[in-house]
Amino acid sequence: MIALKKAERITATTTDLGNWLNGKLVLYLADLANPNNGLNLIPNPL
């Protein structure tokens, strides 16, 4: 998280990328925590 905070101070593009990656990570963890389609370790991409 510290690395992301540092990166966000560089450019708006880095901030957008950081937010996008963070969102993907949250969705991935949520999918692992709530497998609604069996033991699917790879969440469906948006």
- The answer to whether position 24 is within a domain reads yes
Of the pLDDT bands very low, low, confident and very high (cuts 50, 70, 90), residue 4 is: low
- The answer to whether position 10 is within a domain reads yes
* 15 Cβ contact list (under 8 Å, min separation 6): 7, 8
Predicted pLDDT at 13: 74
- Whole-model pTM: value is 0.42
- The answer to whether position 38 is within a domain reads no
* Residue 3 reports pLDDT greater than 70: no
- The answer to whether position 45 is within a domain reads no
- The answer to whether position 41 is within a domain reads no
How far CA 41 is from CA of 1, 8, 13, 45, in Å, comes to 24, 30, 30, 12
- The answer to whether position 15 is within a domain reads yes
Q: How many domains does the chain have?
A: 1
Predicted pLDDT at 30: 80
- The answer to whether position 44 is within a domain reads no
Q: How many CA atoms lie within 13 A of 34 on its CB side?
A: 3
Range of the domain at 25: 2-33
Predicted pLDDT at 2: 59
Q: What digits encode the pLDDT tens for the residues 9-41?
A: 666 677 888 888 888 888 888 877 776 655 556
- C-beta separation of 29 from 21 below 8 A: no
